[in-house]
Structure 1
């Protein structure tokens, strides 16, 4: 089951669904409550307005079946300290986010049923193709009567279907906040019009990239000086569609060498991976040292260096 949203157009309105939290990830009731409450409010707001933009400055007045625009805005959103978000085939990735929350004097951010948090979205703000959220609401510390400094995490579970291979690359960040004002979203008497909601996007985010792996093996070991050394390896990357690692084809990879007792590698040559990600080349044996392959990465795939393989030259 996907944690993130799937998006569909229905009668011209943007409808966000499939926000259920898998039982394995909802061990804490607070986390499950935050995710489910936010999903219900978000879906009602977006379905009624027909757009993801839902702030006090952009929504003149709420409809009879949507929350009212909460006087909250976001700024200074910083995702993962600006570093690429590298996600493997299965392991959970927790992405730290900091942001500034500015609110009206009528908004009590210390209330038990007020919550805010960041998210990531792929594609346009009005019509995202995928969204990633945190399991828990952000924690905020007031810096003035109407401004707070906040931090939170966005949780990515590739093994639960959060990502597909087409999701690798550029994303944007957003923030949302809601005030339940005593309303219980699980109650049959839940009145959505008494709930405040704010949603804001367009913030910068680093790329979400596929974790890569790289191997190297130089033979024979030991080898006589002047003889040929064959260096093989393989470049693979996380396959989010199948939750495994598959070869990364036709990618330039550097063969590098470091002399024994030296501290830096120098590039010997650059070769490309085969259709299944394999690497193979030859060099002449000169001095003792370490061979490795080095991949610089792409906008969709993280860089990686293989561990050096030592060759003793006789």
Structure 2
């Protein structure tokens, strides 16, 4: 078995440190961040990305955790994110508000507040908390605030696998306000999602379709990582089985596809599997946290694959064939490298 302390196949420790520094510089100083402090979904001059408040939350969490919270760019993003919050307390894109996105945003704001000793507007945090609690209590994930139009059923708009990651924000808010109803809701949601959507090592996207979106599967495991770090050991077996499934899905070149289907399940044409960077970077973090020795070969393979996807600008392409330099893939890879090089605490999962 490969030892985690041995160098990567192609990249030394010093190489990885240099790569991480360039990724961080890209996140702070490239056109991925506009003058107002907003983060784009991706950088592609031929197909510009959109302003993505959820990723602003990830961005703030990352740089707070890296203790870059005094950086002027990060402070600007913190201020701008608060301006994106709807009167209801939710955030989203267009006229759609997403509970998941709101959870990622509040986690970022709480991280910034914690690391910088700078108070976030308590009225904003209260609105966000109420929005999150009321909607998750009713298993509502996404809706239009302008009219009653039906939101298309997707992995990101229905209660399912990805919702498990919202437990992280619920616990963090509960700890801030000493509010046990939020804490209890997190555990209720985790149990519901495991019981309803977990099958043979994989999390299905929702009740309407028993297929797996790897990005959402990883979100579910990240939620369980956080809960187990808080002492809820009842989820350990599920977490290990989910990590094993990622190992099973990894290709010989170190890549991971975005869609997986149960045996004998008809593959729908609009779910075309492609090799993606976000779920791959997420997988590295999960393997490192669950059992870094057991998954050392997979960790090395994924690193070697992902580092091929680093653009000349030092961001991470979403796919090896594409031209979108993806913001969240870059953020996840920065944390994966940090965990690999310097150790980890699962409670710090971004």
- TM class by shorter-chain length? under 0.3
Q: Which has the larger radius of gyration?
A: 1
Q: TM-score, normalised by structure 2?
A: 0.21
| Greater fraction of residues in helix | 2
| Greater fraction of residues in strand | 1
Q: TM-score, normalised by structure 1?
A: 0.23
